[in-house]
Structures are given as structure tokens and as C-alpha cells.
Amino acid sequence: MLKGGLKGIAYDFLLSFFEGILVKKWRRKLWNQVKGPRILEVGVGTGLNIFYYPFGVSLTALDLSEEYLQRARLRAERMKKPVEFVQGDVKVMPFKEASFDTVVSSFLFCQVDDPRAGLQEIYRVLKPGGRLLMLEHVNSRGKLGKMMNIISGPFYRLFGDHIARDTEVLARQVGFKKVSTTHLFLDIVKLIYVEKEKGQS
């Protein structure tokens, strides 16, 4: 989302178009599953999820971009939601291990340069028994996936977005054993529920 010029305009246009017609419904579904008391949103962007943040819990929101964080701060103030905003990289977060009950992401892992490292770091900061909830677009496992693989390079150069990732597989690779999915649009946009087992450290 941190793109300048035409790229930025095209990306913002795509995002707000889909936001209006589909994504709001998906965000509500995602946040209905979130449990405190300590919640972390990674890749908060301009704060489009803040509307869905529950009251009475501790909320921390992290993003690489100070510019987007500033917009998210203003949104949180307008909505009177107390949020601690942190500028940082999901791959190396300034939090102690086992700090959070739930970590939430939406449309982040299509942008992180090293998604495996990001997931590994989330694993570290989640409490045993805690959950990672992701609203993400991933590669299709069907025939469509082959086409997505082919166009993913040019798509990335145009929009700065990786469309052919397999975030569920990456989550398993970093050690999460319980991973389940709800399909929201074909098998491309998904709610991915990941749990760090109680015995895992």
C-alpha cells in the first residue's frame, strides 16, 4: 500500500472499490472471532479495521509506514478507540514473547517481503493457546492458480502485491499445527484461523 504516484492511485482505487462492495462484510466476520484481553493488529495500514475493534480490551496496532499510522491514529481518535500504535516491521517486532491472546492481519501477507519470517515472529509473540486470524488473498489451488502464478510477476510490478502466495502452508511451516480456513471468494480470499497449541512455546 506504500506506493507513490500512479501505482498508489491505482492501488487505492482498487482497495476502496472492493472495500465498499465486499470487504466490510469480511472484516466483520474476522473481528467477530477476535478475543482479548491483549490483541495485536499487524499491518494496520490506515486503520480500516478500527471500526470493528472491540471495546474493553488492550489493542496494539503495528505498521511499517509512519504515514499510514498517522491516518490510523486520527481514525482511532475520531472513533474514541484507545489503541497503542507502533511503527515497526512484522518480521522483527518490539514485543516480548507470548504477549498477545490474538494477532490479526488483513491483506498483509500479500505485501510483506518475507512472509515466512513475519509468521515466525507472530508465532513468537502469541501466547500458547492464542490465535492468529488472517483475512488474506492467496493463490488458488485449482487451475486458476497456474494462471495466477504466471501473472503474479507483472501484477507485483504494477500494484506491489503478491497474488500467488500460500499463507496457510507458510503458517504450518513456522510451527502452527492447527490451521483452518473459510473461503470468502472462490479459494482466493480466505479467513485463515491459526492456533498456537497450549504446549507450544
Residue 121 touches ligand SAM, criterion: CB under 6 A: no
Q: DSSP string of 78-109?
A: HTT---EEEE-BTTB-SS-TT-EEEEEEES-T
Count of residues touching ligand SAM (by CB under 6 A): 19
Establish if 102 lies at the interface with ligand SAM (CB under 6 A).
Answer: no
Looking at the DSSP bridge assignments, the partners of residue 185 are 189
Beta strands in the chain (DSSP E): 38-42, 58-63, 84-87, 100-106, 126-137, 178-185, 189-195
Nearest residue to ligand SAM by CB is: 45
Q: In terms of CB distance, is 48 or 164 closer to ligand SAM? A: 48
89: contact with ligand SAM by CB under 6 A: yes
Identity of the residue, 20 or 199, whose beta carbon is nearer to ligand SAM in the bound complex: 20
The amino acid occupying position 199 is G
Cα(125)–Cα(120) distance, rounded to whole angstroms? 9
Among residues 7, 2, 3, the alpha carbon closest in space to that of 158 is found at: 7
Segment contacting ligand SAM by CB under 6 A, of 38-46, 53-61, 94-102, 179-187: 38-46
Does 60 contact ligand SAM by CB under 6 A? Answer: no
Q: Which of 24, 73, 81, 91 binds ligand SAM (CB under 6 A)?
A: 91
Rounded Cα distance between 120 and 75, Å, is 30
Q: Per rule CB under 6 A, is residue 65 in the interface with ligand SAM?
A: yes
Q: Is the dihedral of CA 178, 64, 13, 164 positive or negative?
A: negative
Which range, of 50-58, 106-114, 144-152, 180-188, touches ligand SAM by CB under 6 A? 106-114
Q: Among 57-65, 150-158, 177-185, 190-198, which window interacts with ligand SAM (CB under 6 A)? A: 57-65
DSSP class of 57: S
Q: What residue ranges bind ligand SAM (CB under 6 A)?
A: 1-2, 43-45, 48, 62-65, 68, 89-91, 106-108, 111-112
